[in-house]
Structure 1
Amino acid sequence: MKSSIVICVYTEERWEDIRAAVRSVENQRRRPYEIILVVDHNTDLHLRLKQEYPDLIVVENTHEKGLSGGKNTGAATASGDIVAYLDDDAVAEPGWLEALEEGFQNPAIVGVGGLTRPLWATGHRPRWFPHEFDWTVGCAYRGMPTVRAPIRNVMGGNAAFRREVVGAVGGFPTGIGRSVQGRGSRPLGCEETEFCIRLSQSRPGVVLLFEPDAVIGHKVSAQRAGFAYFRSRCYAEGLSKALVASSVGTGDGLSSERAYVMKALPLGVLRGVGEALRGDLPGLGRASAIVIGLAWTAWGYAVGTARLKLGRS
């Protein structure tokens, strides 16, 4: 089995992060077939990376600007059997690729997602930050499976797919997610969610697998560890979920979210209150953050749904 690893990059401000990501891929126990760096409409960064990594495949995003376009370019460039995606501000543990590849032993499995852990720039998790909302910083969250199990969708920064299925179902959607990356853009997401649901709908019987042994660390900046980003990310997730539901239907588009809202979040609130009563006062902050995060996500979904209805009227 040959694996092509794709890292989508867009800014020189992440130069050291990019180098760390590449280094972690080069140090895998199971060597990748090829490493592809896709540069998102940044000529200077493209030239610099070609000079820095003459032995890697460095290409420009040939699709619409944004993460989805970069992923589609990477899949089109790849020649391996498997296309694995790693965030440009993440580092993969040495057994990451091996664990992803092992997940494809069953022919029915078309995609495998791994475990993403936060690497806090501050050195520690903010005491108010609930584990249930680690998805706001691109990491695995409480409510996900903890063992190998089928899932509805993988997390895009730590995932692999059979190469032929990416193009066969039309690739990642450019109308969802970070279509314009950078500091001034709204932190949208869900392009991998829509893609995975569309993949399963178009090919009944296929399986997407969560593999906890495929571990990466995802860097969380001090800015993203703040409450303002937390709130804006929740709102943006609601907007994105409205687009997903419009694309693939509310049944499949919100199936995992219903279980998460009905079970994981109430348990999280009770856990936080209980921890506060036992002397861990920041537990009240975590319980409050869960309620606020849910409210802002729901508001974003309502706004997004209303906008779509108005656009169709």
Structure 2
Amino acid sequence: MTVVIACFDLDRWPITRRAVESALSQDRSAPPIVVVDHNEELYALATRWCGSDVVVLRNEMGRGASGARNTGVRAARTELVAFLDDDAIASPTWLSELVEPVRDPSVVGVGGAIEPAWSGETGQGGGVAPRWFPTEFGWTVGATATPAAGRHEVVRNVWSGNMLVRKDVFLRAGGFRDDFGKVAGAREPEDTELCLRMSAVSDGGRWCLLGGARVDHHVPASRQTRTSFLRRCWAEGVGKAALSAVAQGGTAALTAEQDYLTRTVPRALVARGRETLRGDLAAPDQAGMIVAGVAAAGAGFLTRRLRGLRAPADRNADAGRAPTPSEGLAAEPAPDAARIVEVEVGAPLPRLERREPESGQDYPGAHVLVRLATEPIGVVQAAIPPSGLPPEQLADLIWRQLSSQLLERCPSLTSSRLTSEGVLATECSAYLDERAATLADAPPITVVVCTKDPDERILACLSALDAQEYPEYEVVVVDNAPRSDMLIGMMAQAIRSAPARRVVEPVPGVARARNLGWRAADGAIVAYIDDDEVADPHWLAEIARALRRHPSASALTGKILPAVLDTEAQCWFEKFGGHGKGRGFSPVVFDPASHRIQHPLYPLPSFGASGNMAVRRHVLAELGGFDNALGPGTPALGSEDTAFLSDLMLAGHTLVYWPGAVVRHRHYEDWSGISRQFYGYGLGLGAFYTRAVLNDPRRLIVLSRLAPTALREMAGRRREGGPRGEYPMELDRLERRGLYRGPVQYLRSRHEARRITVERVLVEA
């Protein structure tokens, strides 16, 4: 094993020396590595003192402990690497105890006990905690709550002040994020974020926390005040808000924090109450600090969430680094038009020209979908200068915005940046291998396309379906309330090889059309796509891969990207959410356990849309499909897909959002179309909630609990950057007007749907 100690402060050198000496005293260690973080005076001092028994390195990466630790791991020549803080002293048996759990190959890392070493009058330790300090808040001074000595437990994360990792998994995960951590005033939990990624890249690798393997963490007098305590609580809340923005699953990843608030804190307050009754004068003071600490952390969390999160790569500027080729370029295109571009970084990057070759249109910006070995990993917005955007500048823009995604997939990039030559796609063969395994045992899928009065857009939709790289599927096109048989000729023109058939739903309504589609389907999985969308060639393969990865999932939704951004209205719509509705490129699992994070009756951000949805056919039959009283073609106008997904999750089923399944949608080109769309959104949402209460009046209680969240979301709605310099108020008014009319329109629509059902029964009888 190798011990890595990152240091940065000359004033802490005396305690750092003791940390190095404790590492040297271990009987299981290679020569320790001390990494000095951008402090030449400290580097010279450490080099003189350490001699040949310790490796002393400069942090050549970004400023901060994350970059320093990454530097140390790259220099290590052992399979296991341990991290020790520069103000912590390891016990003599630290490494011997820490190594035991990693004999289990499923364990990717281990953490041990971190005990506070309170500085006394001399500042060298031997002190005691302040009387007002609650031990449950040991994390405010870098201490941890651990199991009893000699025991261990599986945890979500451990702390970098006392951590052992497998080097290969660490590198595959990309190491610590150098744009996320404790630097430049930020106090972000880089160790928690690393643990989550290492578990993800190792298919659920476990972390163990030991009751032994102790280190003593120095707590100076300056951190033993009430003010320091509350500041640290505030910073913890801010950091956890930042973690929820970058971690897979968002706030659903904060499970340990939720348990702490719902279990540890209440128990602590009860215990202090009992101690107060027994005459302990310190207990009420500690109880007050517990309440104040929770309030400070909550305020920090909410403040960060409401103010919005700055992109980590933008805020973590390093004064000492060399300027990059793209500095000075705008990060986002002008709002009037943008080229749709796809870039494969597993190959040399292209040069982006302002003029689109086929149409000849001039674009001041580009909307770039970035892929690696065909996997979509993110979207980059780039301004295109009149002379074009060279590959070097494009590479730098991609690296600035998607470095963490690339590092997760390409460990070799930990020591370099993305260049115009791209990366070796062979490093990402696991993704392609999983797709190949999926296709070798592909489940049959029925694709349902619903259309009314079809035009040339459906030709592109059907042609893309005909070109799917998938072995076993059929296409069912539902002709809704047709006025002619022109769809037959269009299908013959666009579909040449895939099995396809037309079915007719005479009554208008997209919900009715979708219901007819799944009833006519032969496949065990029913995939829906709108007639104005174009599917990626791997769309069906990704649907099958997602369901293979999550066999308990009953349904999934995918990523909907713009097909063109040729007008101001289209660019504005995409910038403020588009059909992606706030979902990025990280998969999300919505199961019963996630309801406390985002309830099925609160679809913001959206769970997905029926324009890119797949459902197991037996689940559609179990739930009765879509509500015929909702959706386009009815007085309610919308929300038939939101209601179906809500029903699915309330019934206990699992839904997966899978961004690898990509389709492209053609947005409305003018403001009148977007105005109708926003009015329909509001109307459909009002109808959705009316339906929810009519179906089960007890849901009023749930909705009352969700109301504060909805109010916060409305208050935090972004109103800057629109085409008129602000979020257009007329669209806000249209959406609210639709919301208010939703209940009446749903009652009307529900009555009409029942009337049609009765008439059909009478005709069939």
Report the TM range for the smaller structure's normalisation: over 0.9
**Corresponding residue to 2:11 among 4, 13, 17:** 13
1:51 and 2:48 aligned: yes
**Conserved? CA contact 2:61–2:67, under 8 Å:** yes
Structure 1 stretches of 4+ with a deviation exceeding 4 A read 309-313
1:1-313 correspondence runs (5 A): 3-28=1-26, 30-55=27-52, 56-122=54-120, 123-141=127-145, 144-146=146-148, 147-180=151-184, 185=185, 188-248=187-247, 249-308=249-308, 313=718
Distance 1:136 1:20 in 2: 22
C-alpha RMSD over aligned residues: 1.6
1:199-224: CA deviation from partner (whole Å, max 9, x where unpaired): 21232231100112210100101111
| In 1, Cα distance between equivalents of 2:107 and 2:49 | 36
Name the SS for the 1:213 alignment partner: coil
The TM-score normalised by the length of structure 2 is: 0.39
Do the aligned partners of 1:8 and 1:71 also contact (CA within 8 Å) in 2? yes
Q: Per the alignment, do residues 48 and 206 of structure 1 end up closer, same or farther by CA in structure 2, a change over 3 Å counting?
A: same
What's the CA shift string for 1:271-291, capped at 9, x where partnerless? 112112211111011111111
| CA deviation string 1:171-210 (max 9, x = no partner) | 1122332123xxxx46x14110011012212322311001
Secondary structure of 1:165's counterpart equals: helix
Query: Could you say if the C-alpha distance between residues 116 and 309 of structure 1 is closer, same or farther in structure 2, counting changes exceeding 3 Å?
Result: closer
Say whether the 8 Å CA contact 1:91–1:216 is kept in structure 2: yes
- CA distance, structure 1, for counterparts of residue 265 and residue 180 of structure 2: 25
Larger Rg: 2
State the 1:77 CA deviation: 1.2
Offset, 1:308: 2.5
Contact 2:188/2:238, CA 8 A, preserved across alignment: no
Q: For 1:205, what is the secondary structure of its paired residue?
A: coil
C-alpha distance in 1 between matches for 2:111 and 2:35:
20
SS state at 1:127 partner: coil
Q: Give structure 2 stretches of 5+ with no counterpart.
A: 121-126, 312-575, 577-717, 719-765
In 1, the alpha carbon distance for the partners of 2:180 and 2:229 equals: 19
Q: Aligned partner of 2:104: which letter?
A: N
Q: Which amino acid aligns with 2:284?
A: L
1:269–1:288 contact (8 Å) kept in structure 2: no
Aligned counterparts of 2:43 and 2:310: Cα–Cα separation in 1: 40
The count of aligned residue pairs is 303
CA shift digits 1:249-274 (9 cap, x unpaired): 33542111111100000110111121
**Counterpart-to-counterpart distance in 2, 1:175 and 1:216:** 27
Distance 2:223 2:309 in 1: 32
- The runs of 5 or more residues in structure 1 that have no matched partner are none
Identity of aligned residues (%): 36
Q: After alignment, is 197-206 or 225-234 more displaced?
A: 197-206
Helix, strand or coil at the partner of 1:54? helix
What is the alpha-carbon distance in structure 2 between the residues aligned to residue 111 and residue 155 of structure 1? 11
CA 1:164–1:252 in structure 2 vs 1: closer, same or farther (change >3 Å)?
Answer: farther
1:83, CA displacement in angstroms? 0.8
Please say if residues 36 and 57 of structure 1, whose CA atoms lie closer than 8 Å, have aligned partners that are also in contact: yes
Structure 2 distance, partners of 1:175, 1:228, is 28
Q: Give CA deviations for 1:44-72 in whole Å, capped at 9, x if unaligned.
A: 11011111112111001111111111111
Deviates more, 1:129-138 or 1:203-212: 203-212
CA distance in 2, matches of 1:41, 1:140: 29
* 1:34 CA displacement: 2.1
Q: Distance in 2 between matches of 1:6 and 1:305?
A: 34
TM-score between both structures, scaled by the size of structure 1: 0.93
Q: Which amino acid aligns with 2:78?
A: G
Report the Cα distance in structure 1 between the residues aligned to 2:56 and 2:192, rounded to whole angstroms: 27
SS at match of 1:300: helix
